[in-house]
């Protein structure tokens, strides 16, 4: 029977040989699940990486070493999506430094954001982000939390036409802004929509997810663990044995597989600074996923705790 604590789970799997200890690499060589970006020939791995709070560190080797290991495990596991923002403190610069220093054949899909009022301020912020990220092209640029949305989307379209941006979108992280996100999605053409969605916060299932599916907009899911609240809610509880039916062996995988099983979800970006947690997240994108009946059983189980 599996238990809540991610650290305890991974220690146990290392002991039984499911994980290799040398480079903290997965023994499971099954491919990561990918989802298509609508309107393109490109696919993204279902599990990515968020950087809010956890990548806001200085240049101290002791602080950056685990973050470098997180990025390596993301790429080793078949992931590529890294989401960041200038409002995340030093995160953009840390991502830029570490990605530039990685000797890895895996391709990174960089996503960042603009949060400014006015075109000139937005352009200055974007120029700084390109410098911090050490790149000439950003894969996905998003208007952060709907700040000056009309103006900044116009700026992002200009930069996309210049070849500096590949995809554009908007973001938010709370249910109370979902209606406004719906309005913008209907009003303005965009490639991606980023928003919060979790097994215990399913508002997006009624609005944003079906709308994005209908309009052909890719989705990026933030706060899949509700900033850790989901783990606190299952503390001391055993993972149900039937979770193994869809290759689920930890609570983290349970929460992520629920989201990944929704067909309108393109990529999920849980934030972590822990390489072992990155490995656990990657596992959620491999193997089976719950079907519709199992998903109902999953959220009913969590709701009952």
How high is the pLDDT of residue 104?
86
CA distance 71 to 51: 11
pLDDT at 8: 46
Q: Return the pLDDT at 18.
A: 41
The domains located in the chain, with CATH, are 6-304 (3.20.20.100)
pLDDT value at residue 105:
80
Q: What is the pLDDT of residue 25?
A: 38
pLDDT of residue 11: 46
Report the pLDDT value the prediction gives residue 103, as an integer from 0 to 100: 84
DSSP for residue 145: G
Extract the residue ranges of the chain whose pLDDT is less than 70. 1-27
Q: What's the distance, CA 135 to chain centroid?
A: 20
- For residues 191 and 253, give the distance between their C-alpha atoms in angstroms, rounded to a whole number: 27
Q: What DSSP string describes 224-267?
A: TTTTTHHHHHTTTPPPPGGGGGGT--SHHHHHHHHHHTSTT--E
């Amino acid at each position: 029977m599996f238990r809540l604590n991610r650290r305890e789970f991974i220690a146990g799997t290392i002991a039984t040989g499911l994980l290799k200890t040398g480079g903290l690499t997965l023994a499971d060589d099954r491919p990561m699940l990918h989802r298509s970006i609508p309107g393109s020939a490109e696919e993204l791995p279902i599990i990515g990486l968020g950087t809010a709070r956890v990548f806001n560190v200085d240049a101290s080797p002791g602080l950056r070493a685990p973050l470098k290991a997180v990025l390596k495990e993301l790429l080793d596991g078949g992931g590529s999506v890294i989401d960041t923002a200038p409002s995340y403190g030093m995160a953009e610069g840390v991502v830029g430094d570490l990605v530039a220093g990685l000797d890895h054949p895996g391709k990174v899909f960089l996503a960042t954001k603009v949060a400014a009022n006015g075109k000139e301020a937005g352009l200055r912020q974007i120029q700084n982000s390109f410098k911090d990220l050490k790149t000439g092209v950003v894969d996905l640029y998003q208007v952060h939390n709907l700040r000056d949305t009309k103006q900044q989307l116009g700026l992002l379209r200009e930069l996309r036409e210049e070849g500096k941006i590949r995809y554009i979108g908007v973001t938010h992280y709370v249910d109370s802004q979902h209606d406004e996100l719906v309005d913008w999605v209907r009003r303005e053409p965009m490639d991606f929509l980023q928003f919060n969605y979790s097994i215990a916060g399913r508002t997006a299932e009624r609005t944003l997810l079906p709308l994005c599916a209908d309009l052909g907009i890719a989705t990026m899911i933030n706060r899949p663990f509700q900033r850790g609240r989901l783990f606190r809610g299952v503390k001391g509880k055993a993972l149900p044995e039937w979770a193994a039916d869809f290759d689920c062996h930890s609570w983290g995988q349970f929460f992520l597989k629920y989201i990944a099983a929704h067909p309108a979800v393109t990529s999920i970006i849980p934030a972590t600074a822990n390489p072992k947690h990155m490995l656990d997240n990657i596992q959620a994108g491999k193997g089976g996923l719950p079907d519709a009946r199992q998903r109902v059983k999953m959220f009913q189980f969590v709701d009952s705790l």
